[in-house]
Amino acid sequence: MSRFFRRDESSDSESDYSSSSSDDFSDEETQKKKQPTSGAGAGRIARAGLDSDDSEEEVKRTVKSTKDKLADQVTDLSRETLRAIRADEWHLAASSFDQLNKVVPKLIKTVSAANLPRSYVRSLAALEDALYENQKDKAALSKLSATDSRGYNQLKQRVRKHNKDFESLIAEFRANPTESNDDEEAASAESEEESSDDDQAVPSTRTAAAAVPSASKGKGKGKAAVAAASDSESDDSYWDSDSDESSSSSDSDDDGQVGIARWLKKTPTKEDTSAKKAKKDRAQRSQRAAAAQAAAAAEEDEDDDGFTAVGKDGKAVEAPKYNERNLNEHLLALIASRGRKNTNKLESIKSLETLLGVGVNALQKAKVLMALVSAQFDSAPSSGYLPIEMWHKAQSRLNELLSLLEANHQITILETGDSHDYEEDFEYNNATITLRGSIIASIDRLDDEFTKSLRNIDPHTPEYVERMRDTVPLYLTIVRAQGYFEHRNLNDSLCRVAFRRLEHLYYRTDQVNLHVESAAAALPRTSESHVVPASTAGNMEAIIHSLCTFLYLNADTLLRSRAMLMHVFNHALHKRYYVARDLLLMSHIQENVHQADVDTQVLYNRAIAQLGLAAFRLGKIQESFEHLVELMSVGHHRELLSQGVGQLRMHQLSPNEEQLQRQRQLPFHININLELLECVFLTSSMLLEIPFMASANINPDARRAPISRAFRRLLDYNERQVFIGPPENTRDHIMAAAKSLAAGEWEDARDFIQSIRIWSLLPDSEDITSMLASKIQVEALRTYLFTYATQFESVGLADLATMFDLPKGKVYALLARMVYHNEVQASLDEVGGVLVFSRTSHDASSRLQQTALALSNKANTFADINERVFELKINGGQAPGDRQQGGERGDRQQGDREGRPAQNRRDGGGGRDGRDNRDGQRGNQNRRDGGSGGQGGGHRGGRGGRRGGNAGGGGGQRRNDN
Q: Are 753 and 737 in contact (CB under 8 A)?
A: yes
Q: Are 355 and 320 in contact (CB under 8 A)?
A: no
Q: How far out from the chain centre does Cα 620 lie?
A: 34
Say which amino acid occupies 820: Y
Q: Are 124 and 170 in contact (CB under 8 A)?
A: yes
Q: How many CB atoms lie within 10 A of CB 15?
A: 9
Say which amino acid occupies 959: R
User: Is pLDDT at 926 greater than 50 in this prediction?
Assistant: no
Q: Return d(Cα 908, Cα 338) in angstroms, integer.
A: 105
Q: Are 624 and 703 in contact (CB under 8 A)?
A: no
Helices (runs of H) and strands (runs of E) counted in the chain: 40, 7
Question: What residues contact residue 195 under an 8 Å CB cut-off, 6+ apart?
Answer: 265
Label residues 304-327 b or e (16+ Cβ within 10 Å = b).
Answer: eeeeeeeeeeeeeeeeeebeeeeb
* H or E element at residue 434: strand 433-436
Model pLDDT, residue 271: 57
Cα 31 to Cα 1, 5, 26, 199: the distances in Å are 9, 15, 9, 15
Q: Return d(Cα 945, Cα 957) in angstroms, integer.
A: 10
Q: Rounded to the nearest 10 degrees, what angle do helices 540-554 and 491-503 cross at?
A: 140
Model pLDDT, residue 194: 43
Say if residue 797 is exposed, middle or buried (CB neighbours under 10 Å; 0-12, 13-18, 19+). Answer: buried
Say which amino acid occupies 161: K
User: Is pLDDT at 219 greater than 90 in this prediction?
Assistant: no
Model pLDDT, residue 28: 42
Q: Return d(Cα 874, Cα 880) in angstroms, integer.
A: 9
Label residues 92-125 b or e (16+ Cβ within 10 Å = b).
Answer: bbbbbbebbeebbeebeeeeeeeebbbbbbbbbb
Cα 391 to Cα 334, 442, 466, 626: the distances in Å are 21, 12, 14, 44
How long a stretch of residues is the chain?
A: 962
User: Is pLDDT at 907 greater than 60 in this prediction?
Assistant: no
Cα 5 to Cα 8, 21, 48, 49: the distances in Å are 9, 17, 6, 6
pLDDT confidence band for 844 (50 / 70 / 90): low
pLDDT confidence band for 316 (50 / 70 / 90): low
Of 668, 131, 661, nearest to 453 (Cα)? 668
Model pLDDT, residue 123: 82
Average pLDDT over residues 352-371: 90
In this structure, is the dihedral angle defined by the CA atoms of residues 699, 703, 705 and 706, taken in order, positive or negative? positive
Q: Residue 836 phi/psi, 5° resolution? A: -100, 120
Of 775, 769, 774, 796, nearest to 785 (Cα)? 796
Q: Are 143 and 219 in contact (CB under 8 A)?
A: no
Half-sphere exposure of 542 (CA within 13 A, CB side): 9
Q: Residue 377 phi/psi, 5° resolution? A: -70, -30
Beta-strand pair 826-829/834-837 = antiparallel
**What Rg, from alpha-carbon coordinates, does the chain have?**
47
DSSP 183-244: HHHHHHHHHHHHHHSTTS-PPPHHHHHHHHHHHTSSSSTTHHHHHHHHHHTSS--S---THH
Average pLDDT over residues 536-543: 90
Model pLDDT, residue 292: 62
Q: Are 499 and 562 in contact (CB under 8 A)?
A: yes
pLDDT confidence band for 920 (50 / 70 / 90): very low
pLDDT confidence band for 522 (50 / 70 / 90): confident
Model pLDDT, residue 879: 57
* H or E element at residue 409: none
In this structure, is the dihedral angle defined by the CA atoms of residues 851, 857, 858 and 860, taken in order, positive or negative? positive
pLDDT confidence band for 421 (50 / 70 / 90): low
pLDDT tens digits, one per residue of 590-645 = 999 988 999 999 999 999 999 999 999 999 999 999 999 999 988 788 889 988 87
pLDDT confidence band for 187 (50 / 70 / 90): very low
User: Is pLDDT at 290 greater than 80 in this prediction?
Assistant: no
Choose the weakest-confidence range: 141-150, 303-312, 601-610, 750-759.
303-312
Q: Return d(Cα 659, Cα 657) in angstroms, integer.
A: 5
pLDDT confidence band for 265 (50 / 70 / 90): low
Average pLDDT over residues 264-268: 58
Q: How far out from the chain centre does Cα 608 lie?
A: 25
**Ranges of H-type helices in 743-833:** 746-754, 765-788, 797-803, 808-820
Q: Return d(Cα 205, Cα 202) in angstroms, integer.
A: 9
User: Is pLDDT at 77 greater than 80 in this prediction?
Assistant: yes
Of 473, 488, 483, 472, nearest to 534 (Cα)? 483
Q: Which of the 8 DSSP states describes residue 178?
A: S
User: Is pLDDT at 391 greater than 60 in this prediction?
Assistant: yes
Q: Return d(Cα 572, Cα 620) in angstroms, integer.
A: 13
Choose the weakest-confidence range: 195-209, 515-529, 553-567, 569-583.
195-209
pLDDT tens digits, one per residue of 393-408 = 999 999 999 999 999 8
Average model confidence (pLDDT) across the chain:
74
Q: Helix, strand or coil for residue 411?
A: strand
Q: Residue 511 phi/psi, 5° resolution? A: -65, -40
Choose the weakest-confidence range: 98-107, 114-123, 213-222, 712-721.
213-222
- Max mean pLDDT among 214-218, 342-346, 715-719 falls in 715-719
Q: Return d(Cα 863, Cα 856) in angstroms, integer.
A: 11
Model pLDDT, residue 171: 79
Q: Return d(Cα 892, Cα 381) in angstroms, integer.
A: 88
Choose the weakest-confidence range: 27-41, 327-341, 806-820.
27-41
Of 823 and 570, the one with more pLDDT: 570
Q: Are 198 and 206 in contact (CB under 8 A)?
A: no
Model pLDDT, residue 76: 86
Say which amino acid occupies 952: G
Percentage of the chain exceeding pLDDT 70: 66
Average pLDDT over residues 499-527: 90
Q: Return d(Cα 331, Cα 94) in angstroms, integer.
A: 43
Of 616, 610, 651, 645, nearest to 631 (Cα)? 610
User: Is pLDDT at 951 greater than 70 in this prediction?
Assistant: no
pTM strictly above 0.85: no
Choose the weakest-confidence range: 340-354, 438-452, 741-755, 885-899.
885-899
Model pLDDT, residue 537: 85
In this structure, is the dihedral angle defined by the CA atoms of residues 760, 762, 767 and 770, taken in order, positive or negative? negative
Q: Helix, strand or coil for residue 433?
A: strand
pLDDT confidence band for 61 (50 / 70 / 90): low
User: Is pLDDT at 321 greater than 60 in this prediction?
Assistant: yes
Alpha-carbon dihedral 732, 735, 739, 745, rounded to 10 degrees: 70
Instruction: State the distance between the two ends of the chain, measured CA to CA, in whole angstroms.
Output: 128
Percentage of the chain exceeding pLDDT 90: 30
Q: Helix, strand or coil for residue 347?
A: helix
Of 933 and 364, the one with more pLDDT: 364
Choose the weakest-confidence range: 269-283, 674-688, 776-790.
269-283
Q: Return d(Cα 741, Cα 750) in angstroms, integer.
A: 9
Average pLDDT over residues 726-740: 92
Q: Which of the 8 DSSP states describes residue 418?
A: B
Q: Return d(Cα 866, Cα 45) in angstroms, integer.
A: 101
In 674-805 the beta strands, taken as DSSP E runs, fall at 794-796
Q: Return d(Cα 506, Cα 610) in angstroms, integer.
A: 12
Q: Return d(Cα 567, Cα 507) in angstroms, integer.
A: 10
Model pLDDT, residue 928: 39
User: Is pLDDT at 45 greater than 70 in this prediction?
Assistant: no
Model pLDDT, residue 278: 65
Q: Helix, strand or coil for residue 436?
A: strand
pLDDT confidence band for 463 (50 / 70 / 90): very high
pLDDT confidence band for 344 (50 / 70 / 90): confident
Q: Are 116 and 74 in contact (CB under 8 A)?
A: yes
